[in-house]
Amino acid sequence: MIGRSRNDAGQAFPIYVVMVAGLLFLVFAFFAVGKAAALRNGAQGAADAAALAAAQQNREDFGDGFLASLPGDMLEQFLQAHLVDGCPAARKFAAVNQAKVNHCWPPTHGGYRDQIKVEVKGRKPVDSSVIPGTKKKVAKATATAIVEFRCPEWKALDFNHDGVKDLYIFTCGSAGMVEIAPGSPPPWSQVSKILYDVHLVDN
């Protein structure tokens, strides 16, 4: 009986080794999948931040052209034609979030909306020893942001009837109302967030 018991134990040992090896493989595989998911979420967060930063930079850069268009009553032409590039801001914010901008599409302009799309890739690879091809595999993600002029209703007043507009009054829905005197406009930082909305949209 002792002999058979030792023999059974000897036969069972390789099975235990295989089972332990299998469990370890599953543990490492689940860890790699979890790491890949975390990196993917991080890349998406970086893409969102980069796209929003680019859109906010666009909104900031609109200021000079927007205010300069008022005295000559050229606002409509400015709103329909302007384009600025917020990609440098996208690269900066991607770097802060441990990612790199892989591609930043030039803004596309349509009516009162500018759309900016950014693709980023993370800096850290999955680098799993149990999943082939992950040593240099990094997460990628894209995000699209919109800069939207939300005050399509405005009126320009000429108090002196000299052909020069003295005051613009913008009605901006739930954001409120803005009054801008072209001769002494307020700081752009005070009015830009009311005049323009910045938000993410689905890719």
For range 4-21, the mean pLDDT: 58
Q: What is the mean pLDDT of residues 76-104?
A: 86
158 vs 164: CA distance, rounded Å: 6
Per-residue pLDDT of 63-73, as tens digits, reads 999 999 998 88
* Per-residue pLDDT reduced to its tens digit, 18-31: 666 556 555 555 55
Of 177, 176, 155, 152, the residue nearest 166 (C-alpha): 155
pLDDT at 109 over 90: no
Q: Pick the residue with more confidence: 28 or 37?
A: 37
- Total-model pTM: 0.76
pLDDT in the model for residue 85: 77
C-beta separation of 139 from 121 below 8 A? yes
